Homo-oligomer: A and B are copies of this chain.
Amino acid sequence: MTIRVFVTGGTFDKEYDEIRGQLFFHDTHLPELLRQGRCALDLELRTLMMVDSLDMTDADRELIAQNCARCPETRIVVTHGTDTMVETARVLARAVPEKTIVLTGAMVPIAFGSSDGLFNLGSALSFAQVLPPGVYLAMNGRWFSWDDARKNKETGRFERLHGADG
């Protein structure tokens, strides 16, 4: 089984520009994380864009959906900024109903020692292997159905809309 991984940017891949003293996007850290995790899964990695999810447009989301629909793999992980992850999940749920798609991201860039990225990647790749077709978010060690998740802007944690989190 091959898992497709689409990279779209997000905090995950932010780096520090030491000349300008700002965070910026350079290149994805996914291959380096997969090496660190000694990941032996059969993966097809492709970078679709490298953007802050607050800057993501409808056209960007359309592009992600098209790529998810057209690729031969039926199990997909999408790395994504956390701020609009739920929005993209909604678009994917409508456009690609028959595949298992797991979106994940990070609260702290990989380039920081204290990043949650490696944990989230391990989590997302695992959920992608065993969850039934559907669109999910993997954050904070948990999985969320696309229509039952929100990011709590104050705590930075993802929560269920109904039920156990209430």
Binding site for B on A (CB under 8 A): 1, 11, 16, 18-19, 21-23, 33-34, 36-41, 52, 83, 107-109, 111-116, 118-127, 129-131, 138-143, 153-158, 164
Contact = CB atoms under 8 A, between A and B. Distances in A.
B141 A126 contact: yes
Given A37-B120, A126-B141, 13 more contacts: A11-B21, A18-B156, A19-B155, A19-B156, A23-B23, A36-B114, A36-B116, A37-B119, A37-B141, A38-B140, A39-B119, A122-B126, A129-B142
A139 B18 CA distance: 14
Give this chain's copy count. Answer: 4
A10 to B, nearest CB: 10
Nearest to A33: B119
A9 to B, nearest CB: 12
Contacts of A113: 111-113
Contacts of A130: 127, 130-131, 143
Contacts of A155: 19
